[in-house]
Amino acid sequence: MELSNLYKTEGLKTKSLYILVFNVLLFFLLILRLWYLQIIQGEDLRSLAENNRIRVKSIANYRGNILDGNGDVIVSLRPSFNLYLTKEDAKELKNELDFLRKSVDLGESPDLDKIKIHPAHKELLLKRDLNRKEVAFIEENGVDLSGFSIKVEPMRDYKYQELAAQIVGYLGEIRRSQLESFKDGPYRLGDFIGQYGLESRFETFLKGEKGVKSVEVDAAGRELKILRKDNPVPGNNIVLTIDKDLQLLVEKEMEGKQGSVVVLDPQNGNILAIVSKPSFDPNIFAKGVAPSYWKQLIQDESHPLENRAIKGLYPPGSTYKVIMAAAGLEKGVITENTTYFCPGYFQLGTRNYRCWKKGGHGLVSIHRAIVQSCDVFFYQVGYHLGIDAIAQYAMGFGLGAPTGFDPENEKSGLVPTQAWKLRAKKEQWHPGETISASIGQGYNIATPLQLANLIAAVGNGGTLYKPNIIKSIQKPNGEIIQETKPEIIGRLPVSRETLRIIREGLLGVTTEQGGTGLRARVPGVEVAGKTGTAQVVRMKEGWDEDSQEEIPYKYRDHALFIAFAPYEKPLLAMSIIVEHGGHGGSTSAPIAQKIVQSLPRLDSFKLKMGRLEPADTEASGKKL
């Protein structure tokens, strides 16, 4: 027992001796290293400390591209020569700034007072996208501009300027309020992030990650060598459903006009083109928009920043007659053979409600009423239905509620009811208001996207799809991260027979004598559509409704046209609204014609998209 304890004691002593020797050796090595650095390399290190410094610099992130459904790039990056200032490297800051301003337009960049409060060792961005002359001046005068440097960094490039600008959106310098919500995040003051549209909505996918490098610089701030470098991680790419060429075509047709055009694939809800005019060039924001220009944009009475396709609210006008026909047929107020006589007006009490055709249409059925857009026929239908029954079918066709395309920004529109007026206006509903509502006037308002979705459902056989503009999100190598599938949000509350009657009437609009949409005809393609003319204000005495040019511009009617084509198996559906354009048949229908003429190429585009056919396009036939 005692011998055992002796062995243990000896073992502990030996172990302690080893630890002591190790610690002495380690201490000796540290002293040796310290002597080497201070005595042998001391002079060199002191020189490095005085004349050179080590800095950690960020490397700009490479934002992902935005492509159309064909894979054509519409938004990417381009090199930009950016001017930076590092105060601690500037010998005479004020003099250098004054010298710089003689040849470089610094615009509304920070003044001297603001520059002074910026950390001396941190780079301050003074100007983005220097031109060649400015770059040459700075490079040639580097000795006199010791605190200034040029960095080549990626800048957002919107290749087709205004193309789908309100949808694609733009970048902007991060605001302090936004920065606070990203505490310990990847952003710093001066960074650009998505501020609007898809650029904002998909910021986390697009932005990528910054890189970082440690560099040795001399007293003037010039890089001597890179000590360490972590490359940036590029962002993901967003592939849209739009067809760039169709989008450009529609943009051209709407040039100089105010309004919106939406073109959908009726078989899945994919958006093929979406235009809002007037528009803007997002490239202006990529450089950092000046406060004065921003003020000019937001005060512009034509509202170029507003996406009219989802925020513009318009009376649907005679396009609403599609819903009126459905409600009348389904409720049994009319049949396919019901006729009403149109003398050019409808009398209710002491008031006459005019038809657009002053001489009247004579005896008309539902078919002729759709083809020739007879107001009196639909006054009669509305009078017998009542506003609440009309509202039920309007809602069943997708009006009065967002489509789900952009929940944060999309307007709902309005489908009026008796209860709504009592709640909103504190007034009772009047029968005369039902008459106005029957032709899409009065309190009725809808967005261009809602109207496009409505006619798409009529075209495909009764299925309401959620409009979609995102085909997929892909990594830079093409690997798909997310892919959007068609989503059904409802079915039209009509029978197959009702839909047949309506569709045949819509075909007659562009093909039969007296049709209001004859200017949308395309040889070899059957186009089904409905014109609409929406009053902005009640006609004043002395104004001739048939001579829109004589009416002040802001009081002229809006011109509408909704359509799908080809008739049997539609490849596209559309809504066209030209503000103050007059008559839908003369102003908007020709734009539809141009769109339909693109069908051969568009069909090829859809094959590349791998369009999925709907599982069921049968109207529900559900009675409301």
- pLDDT for 7: 46
Between CA 85 and CA 122 the distance in angstroms is 8
- pLDDT for 339: 98
Quick one: what percent of the chain has pLDDT higher than 70? 86
CA angle 597, 599, 604 (to 5 degrees): 145
Q: 243 φ, ψ to 5°?
A: -100, 115
Calculate the CA dihedral of residues 17, 22, 23, 29 and round it to 10 degrees: 150
pLDDT score of 166 more than 70: yes
- pLDDT for 50: 46
Which one is predicted more confidently, 106 or 390?
Answer: 390
Query: How many CA atoms, within 13 angstroms, populate the side-chain half-sphere of residue 141?
Result: 18
Which one is predicted more confidently, 15 or 113?
Answer: 113
The secondary structure of residue 460, as a DSSP letter, is: H
Place of tokens 């961005």: 125
Let me know: does 334 contact 550? Beta carbons within 8 Å: no
Between CA 611 and CA 270 the distance in angstroms is 9
pLDDT interval class at 543 (50, 70, 90): very low
The secondary structure of residue 479, as a DSSP letter, is: -
Which one is predicted more confidently, 415 or 106?
Answer: 415
- pLDDT for 56: 80
Q: What is the pLDDT of residues 433-451, one digit of tens each?
A: 999 999 999 999 999 999 9
Which one is predicted more confidently, 98 or 480?
Answer: 480
pLDDT score of 76 more than 60: yes
Which one is predicted more confidently, 455 or 15?
Answer: 455
Spatial neighbors of 169 by CB under 8 A, at least 6 apart, are 194, 195, 196, 197, 198, 199, 200, 201, 282
Let me know: does 531 contact 455? Beta carbons within 8 Å: no
Let me know: does 563 contact 455? Beta carbons within 8 Å: yes
- pLDDT for 215: 84
- Please tell me whether the peptide bond between 590 and the residue prior to it is cis, using omega within 30 degrees of 0: no
- Name the amino acid, one letter, at 174: I
- pLDDT for 541: 47
Between CA 461 and CA 464 the distance in angstroms is 9
pLDDT score of 466 more than 70: yes
* Helix, strand or coil, per DSSP, at residue 2: helix
- pLDDT for 37: 53
Between CA 452 and CA 564 the distance in angstroms is 9
pLDDT score of 43 more than 90: no
- pLDDT for 25: 76
- pLDDT for 3: 44
- pLDDT for 44: 56
Residues designated as active site: 318
pLDDT, average across residues 526-530: 98
Place of tokens 């709407």: 254
Crossing angle (nearest 10°) for helices 321-330 and 387-396: 110
pLDDT score of 6 more than 70: no
pLDDT, average across residues 170-191: 83
pLDDT, average across residues 33-41: 59
pLDDT score of 565 more than 90: yes
How far is C-alpha 357 from the geometric centre of its chain's CA atoms? 40
- Name the amino acid, one letter, at 108: E
Nearest to 562 by CA among 457, 406, 441: 457
Quick one: what percent of the chain has pLDDT higher than 90? 64
| 3-state DSSP helix/strand/coil % of the chain, to nearest 5 | 40, 25, 40
Nearest to 554 by CA among 568, 565, 567, 543: 543
- pLDDT for 600: 81
- pLDDT for 544: 54
Spatial neighbors of 52 by CB under 8 A, at least 6 apart, are 216, 217, 218, 219, 224
pLDDT interval class at 41 (50, 70, 90): low
Q: Which of the residue ranges 106-110, 307-311, 354-358, 534-538 would you say has the lowest mean pLDDT?
A: 106-110
Place of tokens 């490039």: 157
- All structural domains of the chain: 55-240 (3.90.1310.10), 244-284+315-609 (3.40.710.10)
Between CA 251 and CA 68 the distance in angstroms is 15
- pLDDT for 545: 54
Cα-Cα-Cα-Cα dihedral sign, residues 113, 117, 123, 127? negative
Tokens of 500: 């047949």
Q: 180 φ, ψ to 5°?
A: -65, -30
Between CA 596 and CA 600 the distance in angstroms is 9
- pLDDT for 555: 86
- pLDDT for 12: 54
What average pLDDT does the chain have?
A: 88
How many angstroms separate the Cα of 554 from the Cα of each of 326, 356, 436? 33, 20, 21
pLDDT, average across residues 517-544: 83
Q: What is the pLDDT of residues 212-226, one digit of tens each?
A: 888 887 766 667 888
pLDDT score of 261 more than 90: yes
Tokens of 433: 């208001």
pLDDT score of 513 more than 70: yes
DSSP E strand boundaries for 423-492: 463-465, 470-474, 480-483, 488-491
Q: Which of the residue ranges 109-123, 518-532, 584-598 would you say has the lowest mean pLDDT?
A: 109-123
* Helix, strand or coil, per DSSP, at residue 270: strand
Q: What is the pLDDT of residues 325-374, one digit of tens each?
A: 999 999 999 999 999 999 999 999 999 999 999 999 999 999 999 999 99
